[in-house]
Amino acid sequence: MEFHLEKISEYKYRIPKSYKPGMRVDGIIYAGNKLLESIKKDKAPEQVANVAFLPGIVNYSLAMPDIHWGYGFPIGGVAATDPEQGGVISPGGVGYDINCGVRLVKTDLVLEDLKGKIEKIVNVLYNDVPSGIGSKGQVKVSYQEEKKLLLNGAKWAVAQGFGVKEDLEYCEEFGAIDGADPDSVSERAFERGKPQAGTLGSGNHFLEVQVIEDIFDQTAAEVFGLRIGQIAVMIHSGSRGFGYQVCDDYVKVMGKCLSKYAIKVPDRQLACAPVTSPEAKAYIGAMRAAANYAWVNRQVLMYLVRESFGKVFSKSWQSLGMDLIYDVAHNIAKFEKYIIDGKEKVLCVHRKGATRAFGPGNPELPDRYRNIGQPVIIPGDMGTASYLLVGTKKAEQETFGSTCHGAGRLKSRSEAIRTVDYEGLIKELRQKGIEVRSSGKNTIVEEAPSAYKNIDDVIEVVTQAGLSKKVCKMRPLCVVKG
C-alpha cells in the first residue's frame, strides 16, 4: 500500500490505521513543511506505523520532529501501553543507550570572563573527562558496590562525594528510579559497567560550554537564574556499555516472547512482552538499574566538569555558581498516570529519543519549578544552538507529557564519514568561534552539523504545536565529543 501522511494541522500529520492491517491505532508525526521531506525520505514513518501494532497501545503511535530511523521504534518515538489491556513493554521502545540524557549546569561566569581562556577550558575538559570508545573512569567499584550504585543512582554518587544533595532535587526521578533489580542484570553487563562510570563515551555524547544568546521567557529564565551573556555547560551521556548490554540481553529474551504470548508485530525488533509477564518484570528491573547507572554517570561527569572549571579559574565550583538546572532522561520507559476516556490509568510510556515535558503544577516537579513547568533541554549539533524550554499541560494531554530530544539525524554516521571533509569542518567551526576536541576524527565528522536537521526548525514544531515553551537559546563556544 502506498505510504501517505494526512495533514491534520500545520505541525501534525497522521498515518491512518487503515495503512496496514494490524495497526491498532493511528500514527501521529509532529513536523513542519521544512522537515517533512527529510522525514519522508527516511524509513522512520514506517516504524511509526509498525509501533501501532503493539498490544495495548493507547491513543496513537507518536513521533517527534527529530524522528529518524532506529532499532524497532524510530528515534523520536513515543508510545504508551495499558497493562490492564494486555499492554506490552519493548526494549526497542527504550533503546540501547538506556537513559541517555542531558543535564544543564549554569555558572555565574559571563562571556567576558572566558576571553582568552576557551582553548584552555576545552583542553582541560578533554584531558580530565574520560571520553571515547571503551574509556575508563576514576570510579572503581567492586561487584557489591556496583549493586549499590545500581539501586541508588545519583544518590550513591553524591554519598561518595561526587556532588551535593541539592543536585538530586534537579534530576528527573531525583536521580534514582525505584524498582531497580541488579539480580535481573547479566554478569556481562556488570563487567562492562564496572570501569565506565564517569565517562563520556562515544558517538553523539558530548560536553559543551555555551553562552546564553537569547531569552524568550524572562519569568522562567529568572526562576532558573539565567540571563543573556551567561555561561552554561551541557552534558550529554548515558548508561554506556552497561545499558547496551542490558538491552542486548533482553532483546534476545523478548524475541522468544512473541510466540509464547502470541504477539504479532511486523518487525522482530519490536520484540516485547506483556508488562505483567515475568520477562517484562525482569527487563523493567534491569532497565531501571541501567537508568540509575546513567544518573551516576552524569553526576560524576558534572563533578569532573566542576573540578575542571575550578582548575581553570582557580576557584571552587560553588564560588563559580555551578549549580544544576536540571537533568532529563531520554530512552526510558516509565509508569505514569493519565486520563484516558475519562478514567485515570497507569500507562507504560516508552520514550525513545524523546524527553519528558510535564507542565506547570505537576507534582513530579521540584517545588522551585512547579509554577513554570519541567525544564526541557534540547541540544542542537556542535555547530548550532541548543535550547532550554519548559513542558506544557498540552504535552501531558496530547503526547503523554513528551517532546523531542534533539535535532535528529539527517545522514547516517557512515554517510557523514563519506561526505564530510574533516579539515574543512574544523575550519568552519573555528570561524564560528567553536573549539572542538575528540578522541578521533571520525567522531567529529559523524557529528557534523550537516548530518543533523536544523535545530531551529525542530524547536519551531514543538513550540508551535504547544508541546514545549522556549525559555532561552545557547550558542556553543567549545565542545568535547566522545
Active-site amino acid positions? 405
Q: 522537515: which residue's cell?
A: 35
The grid coordinates of residue 126 equal 578533554
Q: Is 172 left (phi over 0), alpha (psi -120 to 50) or beta?
A: beta
Give the integer Cα–Cα distance in Å for 248 and 244: 6
Question: What are residue 178's DSSP bridge partners?
Answer: none
Q: Give the type of residue at 333.
A: A
Three-class SS of residue 148?
helix
Report residue 245 as a C-alpha cell.
548490554
CA 345, CA 140: separation in Å to the nearest integer?
42
396 CB neighbour count, 10 Å cutoff: 22
Residue with the three cell numbers 548550532: 384
Could you tell me if residue 273 is left (phi over 0), alpha (psi between -120 and 50 degrees) or otherwise beta? beta
Nearest to 62 by CA among 470, 463, 469, 462: 462
Q: Whole-angstrom Cα distance, residue 210 to residue 196?
A: 26
Which cell goes with 296? Answer: 551516576
Cβ atoms 386, 378 nearer than 8 A: yes
Would you state the torsion angle of the CA atoms of residues 45, 253, 298, 119, taken in this order, to the nearest 10 degrees? -60
Helices (H) and strands (E) in the chain, counts: 16, 19
* Secondary structure (3-state) at 213: strand
Q: What are the cell numbers at 161?
A: 562525594
- 3-class state of residue 283 by DSSP: helix
Compute how many other C-beta atoms are within 10 angstroms of the C-beta atom of residue 203. 18
CA atoms of 336 and 334, how far apart (whole Å): 6
Contacts of 156 (CB under 8 A, 6+ apart): 148, 149, 176, 296
Q: What distances in angstroms separate CA 64 from CA 21, 47, 67, 280, 375, one per listed residue?
A: 24, 13, 6, 26, 17
Other beta carbons less than 10 A from residue 433's beta carbon: 12
